[in-house]
Amino acid sequence: MVDLRTQKGKVYLVGSGPGDPELLTIKAKRLIESAEVILYDQLPGEAILDMLPESAERIDVGKYAGCHKLSQWQINELLVNRAKEGKIVVRLKGGDPYLFGRGGEEAQALAREGIEVEIVPGITSAIAVPAYAGIPVTHRDYASMVTFITGHEDPTKDETALDWDLLARFEGTLVILMGVSMLERNVKELLKYGKSIDTPVAVIERGTRPDQRVTTGTLGDIVGLCKQRKIRAPAITVIGDVVKLHQELARN
Ligand code: SAH
């Protein structure tokens, strides 16, 4: 039994990086190994999920394909309850906890309950996945700006929060996360607002993992190519001239 008077619970929001276990931070590894409770979903990938110690209570909060998926509210409640029991809890999140993926909301829910929460940044897929595919998101000759976009907005929202007009005119690199199912719409929007049909595009599936796959094309043909190759999540879409470096810099 945990003595509630002496042990105070704490939640660590831990970034796992994009999937290659060697991209875990030393701190993430230490916390994973010592946690009493670990809440995870499938985004960190098999290699990292295989490292979760059996001694910890491991809760899969995102059994997407299986069937049941806990709501964000239920996840928050679990985090709060386990911490109130005095447990040391790791909430493992793919990439970096504060880039999309609702880490900020989880931290707020905990803070509101007066629970101690510590954030452990991770290597974000938004930069590391293009990098493993030989694509630097900035480069002096090609792009001196980069923007990170969620390709799949909350479907309950009435209006798009994304200013596609602005994005089409943006001269830096566009990196789209969560965009697989909405790729066609997103490409259409960029073309509608005048982005060149020849703009290079790369879609990188399961980046940094042994079965990483890269598909390159242009705004004109990428949708067709992705359908042909049956692209699946998780994938990152990179749009801009930096994609030209893929040929030269990719390891595979
Ligand atoms: N916080 C995460 C992103 C969460 S949103 C981060 O910093 O990386 C989930 C999206 O991340 C996925 O839909 C996909 O677009 C991207 N993603 C995460 N890991 C990935 C990987 N290994 N390969 C390709 N895309 C990945």
Give 248 Cα–ligand 1 centroid separation in angstroms. Answer: 24
Cα 119 to the center of its chain, rounded Å: 16
**Residue bearing the CA closest to ligand 1, atom 15:** 177
In this structure, are strands 200-205 and 213-218 parallel, antiparallel, or unpaired?
A: antiparallel
Work out which ligand 1 atom sits closest to the CA atom of 207.
Answer: 23
Instruction: Answer yes or no: 195 catalytic.
Output: no
Is the Cβ atom of 174 under 6 angstroms away from ligand 1?
A: no
129 and 75 co-located in one domain: no
**136 vs 156: CA distance, rounded Å:** 34
Q: Which of 150, 177, 178, 238 to mutate to test the pocket of ligand 1 (most atoms within 8 A of CB)?
A: 177
109 membership: H or E segment, kind and range: helix 103-112
202 and 223 co-located in one domain: yes
199: in domain: yes
Mean pLDDT of the chain, nearest integer = 93
Contact 100, 178 (CB under 8 A): yes
Give 127 Cα–ligand 1 centroid separation in angstroms. Answer: 10
Contact 139, 167 (CB under 8 A): no
147 and 231 co-located in one domain: yes
Contact 15, 28 (CB under 8 A): yes
Contact 102, 43 (CB under 8 A): no
134 and 97 co-located in one domain: no
pLDDT by residue (tens digit) across 70-82? 898 999 999 999 9
Give 214 Cα–ligand 1 centroid separation in angstroms. Answer: 15
5: in domain: no
Work out which ligand 1 atom sits closest to the CA atom of 176.
Answer: 15
1: in domain: no
135 and 21 co-located in one domain: no
Q: Which domain-ending residue is among 61, 95, 120?
A: 120
153 and 220 co-located in one domain: yes
145 and 219 co-located in one domain: yes
2: in domain: no
Q: Which domain-ending residue is among 120, 155, 183?
A: 120
pLDDT by residue (tens digit) across 178-231? 989 999 999 999 999 999 999 999 999 999 999 999 999 999 999 999 999 999
23 and 113 co-located in one domain: yes
Domain span including residue 222: 125-249
Q: Which domain-ending residue is among 63, 89, 120?
A: 120
pLDDT by residue (tens digit) across 84-115? 999 999 999 999 999 998 999 999 999 999 99
Place of tokens 């999140």: 93
Q: How confident is the model at residue 63 (pLDDT cuts 50, 70, 90)?
A: low
Instruction: Answer yes or no: 178 catalytic.
Output: yes
Instruction: Answer yes or no: 41 catalytic.
Output: yes
133 and 91 co-located in one domain: no
**204 vs 212: CA distance, rounded Å:** 7
Contact 143, 175 (CB under 8 A): no
Is the Cβ atom of 19 under 6 angstroms away from ligand 1?
A: yes
Question: Per the structure, how many domains does the chain have?
Answer: 2
pLDDT by residue (tens digit) across 129-166? 999 999 999 999 999 999 999 987 655 565 667 999 99
CB atoms within 10 A of CB 145: 12
pLDDT by residue (tens digit) across 10-52? 999 999 999 999 999 999 999 999 999 999 999 999 999 999 9
* Upstream peptide bond of 21 is cis (omega within 30 degrees of 0): no
Give 205 Cα–ligand 1 centroid separation in angstroms. Answer: 9
